[in-house]
Amino acid sequence: MIQPLLKYPDSRIRLISANVRLFNDELREWITDIIDTMKANDLDALSAIMIGIQYNIIVIKNADTYTPYVNARLIKCTGNSTQTERSIYYDAISVDVDRYENVTVIYEDENGESHHCDLTGEAARTFQHQLDYSFGSTFVDRVDKEMKQRINDHLEFGLIANGSTCPMVFVRDYFKRGAKYVMGLILVSFILPFFVSPEIRTMTYTADIYLLIAVPVLMVAYFFYALYESRLYKQCTSCQIGNIIGTTAIMSVQLIIIALGVFFWVKP
């Protein structure tokens, strides 16, 4: 049966599709609906979420054959190429997207039997484009921040986002940026002993002490807010606990080095 396609600004595009567990008649009906919808809209590929079915099912047309890829995953990716892509969801937008040139895919068919295949060129790009939808993403999530902001400003309601996708800007980054700015300001004071009087040097040292106190406060705020965001955006790579701890550790080392400079160089 032909189903309506999801179109902007339908927020269901951001739902992360679940794996299929039951390979039964209902699954085959879903696949039939996807194929019927593809034929009605003259499409060469379609993800289940695009007709509101929240399962990891992709159907790709090759000549007159429609192949379903159930629970698909990429296990090998090589090469890169950039081409202009369009989307049936954001149908008024086309952008240059960088994707893998060659991919190896593992998947199951409608009967639950496992398969793998190698895709290259346009076939690989088409598959990756559809797989994005299954994981709550779209091609605009693969462009740089400047282009993403331009697209956001162009769209009537802005880019569709919710708690299931990575935001364009993390609040925690403001705390990290603040800590870096303060440490940068302290570094600037390292050149002053060459040019200022002892009195100014003493004032500079006092200011550096207050700034050194501000940095750990910003780091603590960064760490705990990052933990909060990691619970909101569990699928974002940058939200993983290891990354948060690593970033905090790097800033801590930088702070220690700068503090040693203050006490052994700037101090009168």
pLDDT tens, position by position, 213-265: 999 999 999 999 888 877 766 555 556 677 788 889 999 999 999 999 888 88
Q: How many other C-beta atoms are found inside a 10 Å radius of the C-beta of residue 152? A: 15
CA 63 – CA 31 distance, rounded (Å) = 18
- Would you report the helix, strand and coil content of the chain in percent, each value rounded to 5? 50, 20, 25
CA 11 – CA 80 distance, rounded (Å) = 30
Q: What is the pLDDT of residue 164?
A: 46
CA 16 – CA 183 distance, rounded (Å) = 40
> Helix 241-261 crosses helix 172-188 at what angle (to 10 degrees)?
20
Task: List the alpha helices (DSSP H) in the chain.
Answer: 25-41, 121-134, 145-154, 172-188, 198-232, 241-261
Rg (CA), the chain: 26
CA 36 – CA 47 distance, rounded (Å) = 13
- The distance of Cα 195 from the centroid of its chain, to the nearest Å, equals 47
Q: What is the pLDDT of residue 233?
A: 62
Give the neighbor-by-neighbor strand order of the sheet with 45-47: 45-47, 57-62, 65-86, 94-108, 114-120
Q: What is the pLDDT of residue 23?
A: 96
CA 238 – CA 230 distance, rounded (Å) = 8
Give 133-187 pLDDT, tens digit per residue. 998 888 888 888 888 888 888 888 787 765 445 555 678 888 999 999 999 999 9
Give 45-88 pLDDT, tens digit per residue. 999 999 999 999 999 999 999 999 999 999 999 999 999 999 89
Angle (CA) 221 226 227, round 5° = 105
Identity of the amino acid at 194? F
Q: What is the pLDDT of residue 197?
A: 82
Q: What is the DSSP letter of 15?
A: P
Phi and psi at residue 15, to the nearest 5°: -75, 135
User: Are 17 and 54 within 8 A, CB to CB?
Assistant: yes
**pTM beyond cutoff 0.85:** no
Identity of the amino acid at 243? N
